[in-house]
Structure 1
C-alpha cells in the first residue's frame, strides 16, 4: 500500500493528494485496500464492532419492525441492505422472519449490496441456504424499488475532504510524502465543489477548526434515494447535526482510525491495515431528502429507535444460572443496546419515507 500511495503522490501534478483520494486508496484499492482485502474487519479478530455483531438482538429488532411495516403500513416485502458487509445482520433478520412470518417469508426478497468481492463471498457462505437472499455489487440493477432500503454504518466509511481554518483563511489539507513518511500539507482552498457545499450549508469555521466535507456521502445517498419509488429509507450511523458540529469538542473534526480495537487519531498510520472513519452530516441527508421528495420521519438516538422498534419484545424470562446461555447472552446484549452510556449512545437513526401517507404510523404500540 505504501508503494501505491507513493506512486499516486508522485503521479499527481502538485505531488500531493487530497484526503479524499488518500482514503479512497487505503480503503478501496482492489486487493490491497482495507475493505477490499480478504481480511476480517468486524468482531474480536477484526478492528471494530458494529451493533449487528453484538449478538442477534439488533437484527431481530430490525426484523420485527420490518414485519410491522410490511403487514401494517403497506410496505412491499423487499429489503435492500446497502453496505451489507459479512452478512451477519442480514442473517439475523432473515432467521427472524423465517421463524415467525411464513407468509412474508415466501414472498420476501432480501438484497445485500456490497462492493467487496470478499464480503460477497462470505455472504454467500453464510446465506446460501436462503433463496430469498441476493448479493449485488451495486444498486444499478435495483430501480423503482418498493420496500425497505437501509444501511448500517455505511456513510462513515466513505472518503471525505478535509479543510481547516488556518491563520484566518480556509485551507484544504492534503497528503504528501516527505523523507519517506506520509505528512500533511495545507494549501488555499480552491475546490469549487467544496466551496459550493460550504456556501449551500452555510458552514463557517473558527480558527484552527477542522471539518470533513462529505461529497462522496452526498453522491452515494442520492444514488440510493434515486432507486426508491416508495417505502422506507433507514440510515443508521454515527454523526452530528449542524448544531453539534459547532460544539467545541468537535473542533478538530472526526477523522480517525480503528486498528485492533484501538482508536488512532493519526489517519496516516497503518495505511491499508486500519479502518478510517468520520462522523456523518445528518442535516445534509435530511435536506437532500426533502429535495428528493422524501418525508423526514425523525432523527433518533439508536437506543430510542430500538425501543420504538420493539427490542424489549426480545427480552426473555431467565431463571437459569448459566450466564452463557443463549437467553442470558441475548438479554445482556439488549441491555447493552438500550441503557444510557451503552453501545447505542454513539449512533443515530434517520428515518425517511417516500410515497407513504403522512398519517401512516411507522412505529407500532407495543
Structure 2
C-alpha cells in the first residue's frame, strides 16, 4: 500500500494527493484496501464495534420497527441494507422476523448491498440460507424501491476532503512524501466543488479550524435516493449538525483512525491496515433529501430512536443466575444501548420519507 501511495504522489501533477484520494486508496483499492481485503474488521478480532455487533438487541429492535412499518403503515415488505458489512445485523433482523411473523416472512425481500467482495462472501455464509435474501455489489443494480432502505455506519467510512482556515484564508490539506514518509502539506483552496459546497451550505470556518468536506457522501446519498420511489430512508451514524461543527471541541475536525480498538489521531499511520472515519454532516443529508422531495421525519439520538421503536419490549424478566445466559446478555446489551453514556451516545438516526400516505404514524404509540 505504501508503494502504491508513493507512486500515486510521484505521478500526480504537483507531487501530492488530496485526503479524499488518500482515503479512497487506503480504504477501497481492490484486494489491498482496508474495507475490501480479506480481514475481519468488526468485533473482538477486528478494529472497532458497531451497534449491531453488541449482541442481537439492536437488530431485533430494528426488526420490530420494520414489522410495524410494513403491517401498520402499509409499506411493502422490502428491506434494503446499504453497506451491510459482515451481515450480522441482517441476520439478527431476519431471524427476528422469521421467529415472530411467519406470514410476513413468506413475502419478505431483504437485499444486502456491499461493494466489498470479502464482505459479500461473509454475508452469504451468514444469511445465504434465507431464501428471502439477495446480494448486490452496487447501487447501480438496485431496482426502483418502494419500501425500507437503511444504512448503519455507511457514510462515516467514505473519503473526505480536508480544509483549514489559516491566517484568514482557506487552505486544502494534501498528502505528499518527504524523506520516505507520508506527510501533510497545505495549499490555497482552489477546488471549485469544495468552494461551491461551502457556499451552498453557508459554512464559515474559524481561524485554525479544520473541516472535512463530504463530497463523496453527497454523491453516494444521491445515488441511494435516486432509486427510492416511496418509503422510508434510515441513516444511522455518528455526526453533527452545522451548528455543532462550530463548537470549540470540533475545531480540529473529526478524521480519525481505529486500529486494534485504539483511536488513532495520526491518520497517515498503518495505511490499508487501519479504519479511517469522520463524523458525517447531517444537515447536508437533510437538505439533499429535501431537494429530491424527501420529507424530514426526525433526527434522533440513537437511544431516543430505539425507545420510540419499542426496544424495551425486548427486556425480559428472568431468574437465571448465569450472567452469560442469552437473556442476561441481551438485557445487558439493551441497557448499554439506551442508558446515558452508553454505546448510543455517539450515534444519531436520521429518518426521511418519500411519497408516504398522509397521517401515517411512523412510530407505535
TM-score tier by shorter-chain length is: over 0.9
What CA deviation, in whole Å up to 9, does each residue of 1:47-73 have, x standing for no partner?
A: 000000000000000000000000011
Q: Is the CA contact (8 Å cut-off) linking 2:136 and 2:142 kept in structure 1? A: no
The answer for the alignment partner of 1:276 in structure 2 is 276
**Cα separation, 2, equivalents of 1:48 and 1:318:** 31
Q: Give 2:137's aligned residue.
A: 137
Alignment correspondent of 2:344:
344
- Asked if residue 84 in structure 1 is aligned to residue 63 in structure 2, the reply is no
Per-residue CA deviation, residues 1-57 of structure 1 (Å, 9 max, x unaligned), is: 000000100110000000000000000000110001100000000000000000000
| 8 Å Cα contact 2:41-2:47 kept in structure 1 | yes
Shift of 1:181: 0.4
Q: Find out whether 1:33 has 2:33 as its counterpart.
A: yes
- 1:119 aligns with 119
Q: How big is the shift at 1:140? A: 1.6
1:191-210 → structure 2 map (5 Å cutoff): 191-210=191-210
CA distance in 1, matches of 2:192, 2:143: 31
Three-state SS of the structure 2 residue aligned to 1:140 is: helix
For 1:133 and 1:77, how far apart are their aligned partners in 2? 12
Does residue 1:173 correspond to 2:162, yes or no? no
User: In the aligned structure 2, how far is the partner of 1:314 from the partner of 1:111?
Assistant: 25
The whole-number CA distance in structure 2 between the counterparts of 1:138 and 1:149 is 14
Any residues of structure 2 matched to 1:1-366 within 5 Å, and which?
1-365=1-365
CA RMSD in angstroms comes to 0.6
In 1, the alpha carbon distance for the partners of 2:245 and 2:182 equals 28
Q: Give distance in 1, aligned partners of 2:273 and 2:251.
A: 27
> By how many angstroms is 1:103 displaced?
1.1
Per-residue CA deviation, residues 78-98 of structure 1 (Å, 9 max, x unaligned), is 000000001000000000000
- The CA distance in 2 between the partners of 1:285 and 1:75, in whole Å, is 23
How many residue pairs match? The answer is: 365
* SS of residue in 2 equivalent to 1:49: coil
Instruction: Provide runs of 4+ in structure 1 moved above 4 Å.
Output: none
| Deviation, structure 1 residue 318 | 1.4
Is there any run of 5+ residues in structure 1 with no aligned partner, and where?
Answer: none
Task: Give 1:124 deviation, angstroms.
Answer: 0.7
Alpha-carbon distance in 2 for matches of 1:24, 1:349: 25
